[in-house]
A = this chain, B = another copy of it.
Amino acid sequence: MSKPSDLAGGTKPRPSAAIIADLKHRLAEIYDLNAASSVLTWDEATYMPAGGAAARGRQVAILRRLAHERLTDPALGRLLDRLEQSAGNLSADDANLLRVTRRDFEKAIRVPAEYVARANAHASASYNAWCRARPANDFAAIVPFLEKTLELSREYASFFAPFDHIAAPMIDDADEGVTTATIRLIFTELRHALVPMVRAISEQPSAADAWLDRPFDEEAQLGFGLKIAAQMGYDLERGRLDKTRHPFCTKFASGDVRITTRVRENDIRDALFSTLHEAGHAMYEQGVNAAYEGTPLGSGVSSGVHESQSRLWENVVARSRPFWEHYYPTLQQLFADQLGAVPLDMFYRAINKVEPSLIRTDADEVTYNLHIMLRFDLEVGLLEGRLRVVDLPEAWRAGMEADLGIAPPDDRDGCLQDVHWYAGNIGGAFQSYTIGNILSAQFFAAATKAHPEIPTEIANGQFGTLHSWLTDNLYGPGRALKPDEIVARSTGSPMTMAPYLAYLRKKYGELYQLPAS
């Protein structure tokens, strides 16, 4: 370890320099072990032959265990204690490193290793049971697993007692600083705005999109999406795109941030928007200050802010009309047989078709949040003990009926559809999607206010100004700022629904000729 740079200009000696060096050395090992484990899971999802599965489980498990042992090492805690005693001497970056490492350390040591092993074993058994139960539409078979998961989730929360609400510890893991009360407040407001909007749209003629159900060459689909991602700012010298069953983004280093997508031959929207969604996540991770690599500062700040970037690029940018004014002629050339005779407006309406549907992952921008809110309400109900696991299917149907006016004919497309509850905790995962949607519009509005030329640039296939603004305000800081600081500094206000509602009302008001509200 050479002399930390923050010493160079200092006038008084900093006794903490050696401690910082020791800390960074330990953190880099944890970072690299976690990165190695991510390479293994990426490989598992992309190229691993079926025969490799059993050994891969073992390999990932040992790497995770070694990383966890290092993160919970009491010696690491003693380093943090000593740094806190001389906190006044620390540079801003080192102070941030101390704060974030303390947060991660405290979270890790509160959860006993014995619990982690027990919860992991159950999650794996539950996931396997779900893989059988969902296709069989057999909710009864999963009930004992889900009851146990609920028990484990409550036990997990108890490690962080006292708390304001039993869901708080799980929500705080994903979205630091966000409270259950805040989410309930914004979800209530959002539901009041969205339910009538969906109802009004449902009364309009549905956007035609059956003409899109034609085969599109897979390689051409992938190439088109990746080319746009690169033009947006996804650096392919430090990334790549592969195919997987479920799209994801994964980071091994600031120089290696990969995305995956799936391709449906007969629905060109799936690969394209999945690619751009994951590219949004990837641009965020690629944009984090490279000096933070190897430390907990070197990643995106929260699930909600992360999701805001996937949604911003996928929806606010790539489902906008200016965007397609530029790209549609290229797409038409590429797929002349399928799209040559389809006018831009017809295509634009098809990629923004709003329709109440059963499956969250297929939902459009307007109805999507209603799916999220339903799940959030139900998991809070479960955690609070107001809802019993056996009553979940009926509560699901009632919620769908109330918000979307439709109900699933079976549990397969109802409460069995998402993997989240069946392979991990109950609580803490779903709110981030809607926080991401809300923030995507808030960030975009702030960027456009600072640089009114952004929409015109998008209509010319140029994304440099937007990408730079996001890098300066969101991506660069990594975890050096807290989520609420990121939001406040870059948009001038705390998280607020107004820009998101304005965005939806304007866009879908025009698309569906809704009365101004």
Contacts and interface: CB of A to CB of B under 8 A. Distances in A.
Interface stretch (A83-91, A191-199, A233-241, A416-424): A233-241
A36 B63 contact: yes
Contact of A49 (B35, B40, B43, B256): B256
Contacts of A40: 36, 39
Nearest to A62: B32
Contacts of A32: 55, 58-59, 62
A53 interface: yes
A56 B253 CA distance: 8
A255 interface: yes
Contacts of A43: 39, 43
Given A59-B36, A62-B29, A52 B242 contact: no
A341 interface: no
Given A58-B32, A59-B32, A253 B39 contact: no
Contacts of A143: none
A55 B240 contact: no
Interface string A30-70: 00110111011001000111111111101100110010000
Given A40-B36, A47-B242, A253 B52 contact: yes
A255 B66 contact: no
A293 interface: yes
Contact of A255 (B49, B62, B237, B252): B49
A164 B237 CA distance: 51
Most B C-beta atoms less than 10 A away, residue of A51, A63, A66, A253: A51
Nearest to A61: B32
A342 to B, nearest CB: 32
Contacts of A35: 55, 59
9 contacts: A32-B55, A32-B62, A47-B47, A49-B236, A50-B238, A51-B239, A52-B238, A54-B255, A55-B254
Interface of A: 28-29, 32-33, 35-37, 39-40, 43, 47-56, 58-59, 62-63, 66, 235-240, 242, 252-256, 258, 293-294
